C-alpha cells in the first residue's frame, strides 16, 4: 500500500475513533447539574427578601404599560 494511502487510512481511523467516542459521551452520559457560587472581589452584595427568581408578594397588582407614541403619530412631546 503506498505511503499516502496508509497515512490517510491511519488519520481516518483516528478521526473516526475520536468522533465515535465524542458521540458516545454526548448521547449516554449526562452531566449532573450543580450550583456554583464564586465570591467577587471588591463587590458588596445587597441582601433583599426578593430576587429575580422569587417574585414579590404584590405581583398581582401590576399596572399595564402604555405604549410610547411613535414619532410619526403627529403628537409632540412637551
- Tell me: the pLDDT tens digits for 61-72? 555 566 666 655
- The mean pLDDT value for 22-43 works out to 88
Grid cell at residue 15: 478521526
Is the pLDDT at 35 greater than 70? The verdict is: yes
3-state secondary structure of 10: helix
Top pLDDT among 36 and 43 is at 36
* Residue 31: band (very low, low, confident or very high) from pLDDT cuts 50, 70, 90: confident
| Count of H-run helices and E-run strands, the chain | 1, 0
Does the global pTM surpass 0.85?
no
Amino acid at each position: 500500500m503506498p505511503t499516502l494511502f496508509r497515512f490517510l487510512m491511519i488519520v481516518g481511523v483516528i478521526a473516526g475513533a475520536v468522533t465515535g467516542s465524542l458521540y458516545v459521551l454526548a448521547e449516554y452520559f449526562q452531566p449532573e447539574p450543580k450550583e456554583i457560587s464564586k465570591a467577587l472581589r471588591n463587590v458588596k452584595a445587597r441582601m433583599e427578601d426578593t430576587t429575580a427568581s422569587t417574585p414579590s408578594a404584590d405581583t398581582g397588582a401590576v399596572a399595564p404599560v402604555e405604549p410610547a407614541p411613535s414619532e410619526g403619530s403627529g403628537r409632540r412631546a412637551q
